[in-house]
Amino acid sequence: MTEPSPTAACDAYDVLVVGGGHAGVEAALAAARMGVRTGCVVLDPTALGRMSCNPAIGGIAKGHLVREVDALGGEMGLCADEAGIQFRLINTKKGPAVRSPRAQCDRDLYNVAVLRRVGAQPNLTVIRGEVIDLAVERGGGGPRVVGVELADGGRLAGRTVVLTTGTFLGGRLFAGAWEQAGGRLGEAGASRLSLSLRALGLRLGRHKTGTPPRLVAASIDTDRLEQQPGDAAPRPFSFRTERLEVDQLCCWLTKTTPATHAIIAAHAHLSPMVQGRIVGAGPRYCPSVEDKVVRFGDRDHHLVFLEPEGRDHPEVYPNGLSTSLPVEVQERFLRTIPGLEEAEIARPGYAVEYDHLATDQLRGDLRVGGVEGLFAAGQINGTSGYEEAAGQGLVAGVNAALRVRGEPPLILDRASSYLGVMIDDLCRVNPREPYRMFTSRAEFRLLLRADNADRRLGAVGRRLGLLDETAFARVARKESRIAAARAQLRAARHHGASLEELLRRPEVGVAAVSALSPSLAALRLSPEELSEVEAEVKYEGYIRRQEREVERLRAMESRRLPAWLDYASVTGLSAEGRERLATRQPLTLGEASRLAGVTPADLNLLLAVVARGPDRPAAGVLAP
């Protein structure tokens, strides 16, 4: 296993990243690649990039985020390709906007892939230590972060600090009556830093998440279970991976039974959530099995995916069985599930509750408002998931480096990326439960596909210096091959109709039209390029409409909000949006769009009202 780079402290850093999870790793690598001196302080340097939960990357909308991180020059996609043991494109039967890649990874290989990249990165030093305090100077303009204090008494100077403390900040672990401080099982938490953040006047909240028991692979009877194979022709996660040669492993599907539900229901009162010992809200979309049994009492089963933790790994992850019930209860209910009658628990399931920053304190570049030079990314920003963390980490690392270089920040808008959607959502509202990405959060879904992330963001990655020339040349080649294919489709005809017209028909696929055009076939487009061509042709009308909407919104960014605008009389505004607009009185629509609580629908409404002018209130828009 590759050793991390030497843990040496140097006197001063341009960017100090606190934490080495998915957010911390992307932040530190991005900043270091941008040529600024970067330090990454972690509790355990061997755990860089460790996956706290299932070793799977991607899935619906999360796969889009990884593709965007990759397009900008980040590492998560490359590590997933290196460590993947099963690859699937999810939602292939649905429209192109919601298709998303997912890879089950080998937990240890992923860790090794991350350690190797960090160890080989110039300008980056990994420092073992617990950050307990932020060093702050107070001038006339408010507090400015100048470094961090370590638990061993050391101090590191930093011109900027990026906090990526994950589930460790004030972390507490729970399973039944058992409870202890910790960031995840076997790793201590970090509670003193919370006090320091509160002392700076920052608002913190509490969130909770959980994980299932890990099962001994050899104790599972998979013979009777449904197999879940990977894709026959697996596609790489990263745009930079030329070829994927992988001997894929199988996953299995089983389900809970009425007997499982009876045991869980009889012991639900032992759950620390039910007992009120956990106060933080958990993810509604990823509930514990006890939550599912209680909330959906009419269901007689819930699906459980049995996913290997690695190629030769002795443990299996039962996806769908997250729990914080006592270990004895976990053992009992497992035995009622087909295939798990003899299953042994390698590590018990548990819940973790931790502190996060109230996200309306964040700005679009992931600065923490009110403390100069301070940035935050990942689970500390109220999100859940490796992919959400990696995306924020990259943006925060880039912006910390840009700040050091005195350059304008990178702000991704909602029309450019899921990353832009996520950061914008976080700045607007304080999520009451851990925030995860869904395709439904993006209003310009047809433009923000997983397959075209490189064409959307490659130029940004290149400009920042994160994407090398070879990788960017590949994006340019793809662009011109797709343009050539579109031209061929328009030029070639079959029975009087152009191939483009044929491809617009719902029953005609891109493979069929390729067979009709030797010059199109001669372009030898990759499967991904072909599906991009297909999406662009079939959905051209919708795509054009979304593009026009984006142009309109971008043009409106600098549109002034006139003094005659009376928010109280605009019907249809959200209650929170109306209150914020009235108190903050933003000067432009762009400024309004960044106010927490002002929704995209509010902005569209304001646009309409401003466009109509003061004297021509439209029925249903302005109150009489």
597: left (phi over 0), alpha (psi -120 to 50) or beta: left
Question: Residue 126 belongs to what H/E stretch?
Answer: strand 124-128
The amino acid present at 336, given as its one-letter code, is: T
CB of 233 to ligand FAD, least distance (A): 27
CB of 436 to ligand FAD, least distance (A): 6
CA 38, CA 45: separation in Å to the nearest integer?
A: 15
Give the residue with the Cβ less far from ligand FAD, 386 or 567: 386
CB of 187 to ligand FAD, least distance (A): 7
CB of 526 to ligand FAD, least distance (A): 30
Phi and psi, residue 121, nearest 5°: -90, 115
How many C-beta neighbours within 10 Å does residue 613 have? 10
Give the residue with the Cβ less far from ligand FAD, 157 or 476: 157
CB of 50 to ligand FAD, least distance (A): 7
Give the residue with the Cβ less far from ligand FAD, 439 or 452: 439
CA 118, CA 4: separation in Å to the nearest integer?
A: 7
CB of 23 to ligand FAD, least distance (A): 3
Give the residue with the Cβ less far from ligand FAD, 389 or 471: 389
CB of 387 to ligand FAD, least distance (A): 8
CB of 282 to ligand FAD, least distance (A): 10
Phi and psi, residue 198, nearest 5°: -65, -40
The residue nearest ligand FAD at its CB is 166
Give the residue with the Cβ less far from ligand FAD, 304 or 389: 389
Give the residue with the Cβ less far from ligand FAD, 388 or 500: 388
**Contact at 8 Å (CB) between 55 and 85?**
no
Query: In sequence order, what E strands does 236-344 have?
Result: 251-255, 303-308, 315-319
Token digits of residue 452 = 């075209």
> How many degrees, rounded to 5, is the angle at CA 217 between CA 215 and CA 220?
85
Give the residue with the Cβ less far from ligand FAD, 156 or 595: 156
Burial 48-80 (b: 16+ CB within 10 A, else e): bbbbbbbbbbbbbbbbbbbbbbbbbbbbbbbbb
Give the residue with the Cβ less far from ligand FAD, 164 or 488: 164
Query: Can you give the binding site for ligand FAD, defined by CB under 6 A?
Result: 18-24, 41-44, 47, 52-53, 130-131, 164-168, 183-184, 190, 193, 209-211, 286, 352, 378-379, 384-386, 389
438: left (phi over 0), alpha (psi -120 to 50) or beta: beta
CB of 385 to ligand FAD, least distance (A): 3
How many C-beta neighbours within 10 Å does residue 161 have? 28
Give the residue with the Cβ less far from ligand FAD, 109 or 377: 377
Give the residue with the Cβ less far from ligand FAD, 37 or 208: 208
Q: How far is CA 285 from CA 101, 181, 209, 580, in A?
A: 19, 26, 11, 29
CB of 57 to ligand FAD, least distance (A): 10
User: Helices then strands (H, E): number in the chain?
Assistant: 20, 22
**Contact at 8 Å (CB) between 235 and 206?**
no
Give the residue with the Cβ less far from ligand FAD, 261 or 436: 436
CB of 396 to ligand FAD, least distance (A): 11
CB of 167 to ligand FAD, least distance (A): 4
Of the chain, the end-to-end C-alpha distance in Å amounts to 71
CB of 379 to ligand FAD, least distance (A): 4
How many C-beta neighbours within 10 Å does residue 210 have? 28
Sign of CA dihedral 459, 461, 466, 472: negative
The amino acid present at 391, given as its one-letter code, is: G
Give the residue with the Cβ less far from ligand FAD, 100 or 167: 167
Q: Is 209 exposed, middle or buried (0-12, 13-18, 19+ CB in 10 A)?
A: buried
Q: How far is CA 516 from CA 489, 508, 602, in A?
A: 10, 12, 48
Give the residue with the Cβ less far from ligand FAD, 117 or 184: 184
